[in-house]
Each structure stands twice: as structure tokens, then as C-alpha cells.
Structure 1
Amino acid sequence: MSLQDDLTSVQRRLDDLVRCVGRLEQHVGNSLDMRRVRADADHLRESLTLLREAAPSAAPPGPVEMVIVPDTPYDPALWSDCEDEGLGSPHGHAP
């Protein structure tokens, strides 16, 4: 499933939860525990809305292009004036 499909699926299930909480509240009444359940369901709705807004809407990038590195040795001239990290200057003077 894609991200948008998953978010839509969660939204449907959350809507079902909110409807069930409403029916349960009719049976149980407006007790402290029921208010907590209602608040938790509302909090989930808000969190899902924020997640939907933050989710990337563009299609995921295509496959990554593979870069082939040859097995042949590098030209030693590439390293002629480089310093070895942690060993200091080739002239023996520390910076």
C-alpha cells in the first residue's frame, strides 16, 4: 500500500472508532472515564490530521541509479599533494 492509502485506511478506522465511542457514550453516560476515551479519540483525530499535512504528497522517487566503480587502481597523481588525515603534513610540520 502507498502512504496515502495507509492514511486513508487509518482515517476510515478512526471515523469508525469515533462513531463507536459516541454509541458507547449513550450507554455509559458522561462519566470521567468516558470523557477520557472521547478526549483520546479526539486527540487521535488531531494527530492524524497533522500527520496527513506533514506527509509528502509527491510520488516517491524512482529507483536509485547504480554507480559502477572500476577495479583499476587510481592514478597516484591524485594523491601527490594530499595530507594523511591525522598524520599531519608530509613535510613534518604540524599545522
Structure 2
Amino acid sequence: MSVNDDLTSVQRCLDDLFRSVGRLEQKLGRGGLEIRRVRLDAAHLRESVALLRESAAGPPAVKSSEFVPVPDTPYDDSLWTDSDDEGLGAHHGNHH
């Protein structure tokens, strides 16, 4: 069985669980703490399986236009003249 088949099987089981919880709610009422917890737990499982399905599908394809080229040349040192290296002390003998 493939991962997709297993996820589909789990989804079917969760659908059955949701139907069963719905029937229980009709018989027991919706107000009880226990049935609300079961309903919320089933909803969380459904959300978790959906997230698992997304992650199993792999990362979304990235379009080549989304890549940003990074040059190999060093940064211009003048960009950093107004800042100090954190944790290394002040430059140029300036002590705060």
C-alpha cells in the first residue's frame, strides 16, 4: 500500500468516526463535556491528517522566477558604518 492509500484509508475511518460521533450527539445531546471533547478530538485528528497529507505530497514546486540571485562579491563595507558588531564591542574605540 502506498502512503496515499494509507492516508485515504485513515480519512475514511475518520469520516466514519465523525458520522458515529454525530449519531451519539443525537442520542446523548450536544451539551455534555465528554461528547464535546470527543467531537473536538475527532476534528483535530481530521486537521492533523489533512496536514500530514499535505506534507506527504512534498514541497510545492518553486517557479524559477521566485529565485533571487545572490552575488558572490563581498558586501560594500560602507553599508555597516553606522552599526556595531553585537557582542564584539564598539568599533573605532567608541565605548558605550
| TM-score interval, smaller chain | 0.5 to 0.7
Q: 1:49-78 CA distances to partner (integer Å, 9 max, x unpaired)?
A: 000000046xxxxxxxxxxxxxxxxxxxxx
2:74 matched residue in structure 1: none
Q: 1:31-57 CA distances to partner (integer Å, 9 max, x unpaired)?
A: 111000000000000000000000046
- Say how many residue pairs are matched: 57
What is the TM-score of this pair, normalised by structure 2? 0.57
1:49 matched residue in structure 2: 50
1:4 matched residue in structure 2: 4
Unaligned runs of 5+ in 1: 58-95
Q: Name the CA distance, whole Å, in 2 between partners of 1:33 and 1:16.
A: 19
Which structure's CA Rg is the greater one? 1
2:27 matched residue in structure 1: 27
Greater RCO structure (CA 8 Å; 6+ sep): 2
- CA RMSD in angstroms, aligned pairs only: 1.0
Q: Name the CA distance, whole Å, in 2 between partners of 1:32 and 1:19.
A: 19
